[in-house]
Chains A and B, each alone.
Chain A
Amino acid sequence: MHRFANPNRFLKLANAILPWSNGVLVVSLLAGLALALVWSPGDYQQGDTVRIMYVHVPAAWMGMFAYVAMAVASAVALIWKHPLADLAGRATAPVGAAFTFVCLVTGALWGKPMWGTWWVWDARLTSMLILLFLYFGYMALHNAFDDPQRGAKAAAVLALVGVVNVPIIKFSVDWWNTLHQPASVVRMDGPAVDPSMLWPLLVMGLAFKAFYVSVVLLRIKAEIADAKIRALRMSEIHG
C-alpha cells in the first residue's frame, strides 16, 4: 500500500497507464458509437429511443462506480492518512458528478417519449439525484475550510456516510414500486437485453470506464503538481 503512496512512484505508474487507457478510450468509443448509432436494431417496444440506453446506462454505472471509488479513497485517507488517497478522492468527485449528471439528463430525455414524463419522484430517480447532491456536497466541503486538512476530513466522512445510497440506488427498483423498470443487465437470471443491444452497451461501458481512468489519472497528476507548487511557495516564504 505504502508503495503507491509515494507521489513519484505513482506518477511513474500513471504515466505508464495513460497511453493504454487513452488508446482503449479512442478505440472503444469509436466502435461503441458505430454499434450504438448504426449497427444495432431498434427495440420492439421502444423503437430508436433504445439508443439513449447506450449513453444513459454506462453513465449510471460510472456515476455509482466513481462514488464507491471515492468512498474507498476516503476510507484509506481517514484510516491510513495517505495523502495520495485524499488526492484520488478529490480527483474522482467531479468525474463522478459529470457521469451522474449525464445519466439524469439522458434519463429525462428518454422518459419523456416513453413514460410520458421528464421526471417522477420514484425511489430510483430520487436516489440518483441524491447521488449528484452527495458529489456536490463532497466538493463543497473540501473547499469549505481554511485548513485544507479539515476540509479533506469532513469531505471524506460525508463520502463514507453517503455510500449507503449506492445499494439503495441499485436495489430501489426491487424493493419498491417504481416507474423505472428493474435491472436489465446486472441481475440474477442474466441479461434481459438481446445480444444485438448488449454489445453496444458493453462497448460503450468500456469507453466510459477508460474515460474515467484517463481523466482521474490526469486529475491526480494535476493535484500532485498543485501540492508541489504549494510546498515550493511555502518553502520560499519560510526559507
Chain B
Amino acid sequence: MTRKKRRLTLIGLGMLLLSAATALVLTAFQDNLVFFYSPSDLQTKPLAADQRFRLGGMVEDGSVVRDGQTIRFTVTDYAATTPVVFSGILPDLFREGQGVVTEGRLNSEGVFQATEVLAKHDENYMPPEVSDALERTGKMPNTMRMPESTSNTGS
C-alpha cells in the first residue's frame, strides 16, 4: 500500500467513524434539539408542573379572540389542541391557519400562559394574485390555507 492510499483509507475511515458518532450523538440528544413541543407531545410526554417550555403548531381557524390587550387562541397539530392565552405584541405574520411557536407555562386548567409568541411560516412563496387563484380553485395546500379576513395584511 502506498502512502497516498494509506492516507486515503485513513481519512475515509475517519470520516465514516465521525459520521456514525455524529448520528449517534444527534439521536441521543433528539429531545434537546427540538425547539418546541406540539399539542400531541404534551399528551405523551408529561412535563413537570410549572415547567417553562415552547409550544408550537397551527393557530386554529376561528379560534382567535381578542379582549383588549389579552388574546386567546387555540394551537393545533390536527391531532390535539391546546388553548393559549397571551397579552403583548404579536408578530406581523401571526394569522389564523398559520404556524406559531409560543413560550410559557401550562396552568392548572391546562391553558398555556404564553409570555412570548413567534410566528412560524411555511415554505410556500407566491404573489397574492396566485394565492387568490389557488384559493378560488381549492388547490391551496392545506398547511397554508388563510383566513379570508386577513388575506390582505401581507401585501
Contact = CB atoms under 8 A, between A and B. Distances in A.
B154 A179 contact: no
Interface string A158-183: 00110110001000000111110111
A114 B35 contact: no
B154 A45 contact: yes
B119 A114 contact: yes
B18 A47 contact: no
A43 B127 contact: yes
The interface residues of chain B, by DSSP majority, are classed as mixed
Contacts of B36: 177, 179
B35 A178 contact: yes
A96 to B, nearest CB: 20
Given A115-B118, A177-B36, A178-B35, A42 B155 contact: yes
B13 interface: no
Contact of B123 (A116, A181, A196): A181
B127 A196 contact: yes
B24 to A, nearest CB: 12
Interface string A33-54: 0000000011111110010010
A79 B4 contact: yes
A93 to B, nearest CB: 19
A184 B143 CA distance: 14
B30 to A, nearest CB: 8
Interface string B4-47: 10011001001100110010001000100111111000000000
Interface of A: 41-47, 50, 53, 75, 78-80, 113-117, 120-123, 160-161, 163-164, 168, 175-179, 181-184, 187, 192-194, 196-197
Given A42-B155, A44-B155, 18 more contacts: A41-B127, A43-B155, A44-B132, A45-B93, A45-B121, A45-B144, A45-B146, A46-B93, A79-B7, A80-B4, A116-B117, A121-B35, A168-B22, A177-B37, A181-B120, A183-B123, A193-B124, A197-B126
Of all A-B residue pairs in the complex, the 3 with the closest CB atoms, nearest first, are: A116-B91, A41-B127, A194-B126
